[in-house]
A and B are shown apart, each in its own frame.
Chain A
Amino acid sequence: MHSPLSTKTLSAGLAVVLAATGALLGCSKDSSKGVGETQAATTASAAGGLAVSEKEVVVGQLHSATGTMAISETGSIEAERLAIDQINQAGGLLGKQIKIIQQDGASDWPTFAEKAKLLLEEDHVACVFGCWTSASRKAVLPVFEKDNGLLYYPTFYEGLEQSKNVFYTGQEATQQILAGLDWIHKEKNANTFFLIGSDYIWPRTSNKIARKHIENVLKGSVVGEEYYPLGYTEFGSLINKIKAVKPDVVYAIVVGGSNVSFYKQLKAAGVTAQNQTLLTISVTEDELLGIGGENMVGYYAAMKYFQSLDNDNNKKFVAAFKAKYGPNSVIGDVTQAAYLGPWLYKAAVEKAQSFDVDKVVAASPGIELTTAPEGYVKIHPNHHLWSKLRVGQAQLDGQYKVVYESELIEPNPFPKGYQ
């Protein structure tokens, strides 16, 4: 007798619970709708729902302050902060002071995506300065496109990308590669090239472009193309191969700690600028600090900026950077590109007279910056920058001496005939 009754009671109880849950669910559904509506209301009132108040505008900074990429990203963090400080001192953006919320991507790509989401959806930042590796940029891209955020990306990279929500302040591959190869072909009468890279997307895509240019335009030949895992430290066999083939130019895109091993071992094996021409697109002053000028002296690097550039903008920039971060700090290509981000954003916001992402993006193409340390830059409708290419020759003191400067080069992230 007992058990059927209790079953009945149980099922009755269950029904009540179910009904209650249903009601609760319905209720919460309704309330969530309500929240959404209120949010939409605030969105309409305050510049696209962004964290912009009477006195300040909040922007995000998303780099790796810890982990293996901190080596490279520290310079970008410093440069962006310097630019924002300078903008604030000069009166801010549309009369508002810029406040930075910094998140740490910790050299981990999913963390980058998570932190990007946090910045855009919780903090409602007006824009983000961030990322360094292509992998981290690819990880945050869907977040920025979904939430209609705005990202300023500082690194020279492989191209083949263009997003409404991203501005690329570094050079894409063709800007960095073609003019440099032309120069060394003409200047050093170079016809045979040995391509070397770390084994991931940027060196491989860049070398693909270099190979097409060497074979189809310069009518030279590629006598070797080799890739080594990231962090690799034993280049003895590679160096012997270079010695066996004797190319006119070694074209090197080795990154990170491997760089140090590569150049130290080249020198120790008796390969120096006196008997081998070498052109790299991956060694900025930052890396040179680790490699040591004495191991690299005489080799060439092709990029858009060197710390030694002789113009007034750059002198002011270098002085300000050293005043803030110490006399021994060095500034590489990417650090300068990161410095451009806040200034380009300022110019776009002032042109749009708004912080609204769509309006800022629409106002951006055609914006010129005459105060850039690298000289004049201009935003192309494809969200990359018109910029020059320089070839620098490494000096004993860890700086580059500029030996060549190109005309302004149009960015072309999807180069025909090079893919």
Chain B
Amino acid sequence: MNAAIWAMQAFTGLSTFCVLLLMALGLAIIFGQMGVINMAHGEFMTVGAYTTYLLSEVSQRWLPGLTNWYFFLSIAVSFLLAGAFGLLVEHLMIRKLYRRPLDTLLATWGLSLIMQQGFRSVFGAREVSAKLPDWLMGSVKPSAAIDIPINGLVVIGLTAALTALVFFALFSTRFGIDVRATMQNRPMASAAGINTARVDRLTFGLGCGLAGVAGAAFTTIGSTGPTSGSAYIVDTFLVVVFGGAQSLFGTIASAFSIAQTQATTEFFMTGSMAKVVTLSAIILILMVRPQGLFALKVRR
């Protein structure tokens, strides 16, 4: 085994880590912070993916000057669209179910089915492909034998930026204090004058918006179809639960360890077996630490 392969394999692990983290960020907020089991999280990703596809079609047909850069625009638009849709869903449905987590599970699962069939009716059952600018699909060659995919670099950069933003929003702004206060002790937060209903709505919207961004980013590595979001949902919950539902650090640590285990075992055995090994390891660890890797100490 030569050094070039090792370098590329290390990069593969890193980029898998970023994909997992990007998927899980939104859910870490919705499930981890708010305790809402959102089974439709994958479909909010799909909203972002279809937004990217639509913008790519628009830019190709009417704004050829934008073709090279529309991708960055689509990230912003995906965030806004998925976030706005999230606000709407919160207002119409989730709001009424906050004290009934199992009902939320059923309701959001139903929502996910409705959204999937909605995508199918609007965009057709066939998978579509956002036409990505050429520079995004190339690779960097630091040496003759090493290819570092640029789309991987973009996903890594995006993940880093988003994670930093989420941390900043939650730990350094007034909004973040409100969110954490509401989640830790709702009656007390309310008594202290925080509008908890508004905080709930914005938090859910933020989580959905992040899912939209993840969906936009995934058009560079995967497919866009009515059900492509649901392919991610299991992994997403896995990352959040394994990390310890309420800890953002936990989510990062969990995404990192799952990704590295997956990428490394995959190199030495086949993909299906690698998945078996990774899942077995997670089950074993969760048996010893049912609260996940990191647990927040909260007085209940």
B19 in contact (CB, < 8 A):
yes
| Neighbour of A71 across the interface among B19, B127, B218, B263, CB < 8 A | B127
Please pick, from B11, B141, B223, the residue contacting A257 in the complex, using a CB distance under 8 A. Answer: B223
Q: How far is the CA of A287 from the CA of B124 in the complex (A)?
A: 14
Contact A68–B222 (Cβ < 8 Å): no
Contact of B126 among A67, A74, A232, A233 (CB under 8 A): A74
Given contacts A66-B117, A265-B149, contact A260 B129 (CB under 8 A): yes
Within 8 Å of chain B (Cβ to Cβ): is A261? Answer: yes
Interface centre among A74, A199, A244 (most CB of B within 10 A): A244
A66-96 CB contact bits vs B (8 Å, 1 = yes)?
A: 1110110010000000000000000000000
A229 to chain B, nearest CB (A): 6
A261/B221 in contact, CB under 8 A: yes
Partner of B263 from the list A66, A237, A271 (CB cut-off 8 Å) is: A237
Chain A nearest Cβ from B70, distance in angstroms: 16
B112 contacts partner chain A, Cβ-Cβ < 8 Å: no
- The residue from B125, B128, B137 contacting A295, defined by CB atoms under 8 A apart: B137
Question: Quick one: which of B261-280 are within 8 Å of A by CB?
Answer: 262-263, 266-267, 270-272, 274-275
Count residues of chain A with CB under 8 A from any CB of chain B: 45
CB proximity of A255 to chain B, nearest CB, Å: 12
> Please, how many angstroms separate the alpha-carbon atoms of A8 and B271 in the complex?
73
- Least CB distance from A322 to B in Å reads 15
Residues of A within 8 Å of B19, CB to CB, are 233-234
Q: Report the separation of the CA atoms of residues A101 and B141 in the bound assembly, to the nearest whole angstrom.
A: 57
Chain B positions 225-284 with a Cβ under 8 Å from a chain A Cβ: 225-228, 231-232, 262-263, 266-267, 270-272, 274-275
Residue from B1, B222, B263 within 8 A of A260 (CB atoms): B222
CA distance A269 to B12 in the complex (A): 10
Q: Pick the contact of A236 from B15, B137, B272 — CB < 8 Å?
A: B15
Cα A179 to Cα B150 with chains together (Å): 38
Whether A290 and B131, one on each chain, are in contact in the complex, defined by CB atoms closer than 8 angstroms, is no
Among candidates B9, B117, B139, B218, residue contacting A237 with C-beta atoms closer than 8 Å? B9
- Which residues of chain B have a CB within 8 Å of any CB of chain A? 1-2, 5, 8-9, 11-12, 15-16, 19, 117, 120, 124-129, 131, 137-139, 141, 147, 149-152, 218, 220-228, 231-232, 262-263, 266-267, 270-272, 274-275
Interface residues of A (CB under 8 A from B): 65-68, 70-71, 74, 199, 225-229, 231-234, 236-241, 243-244, 257-261, 264-265, 267-271, 286-287, 289-292, 294-295
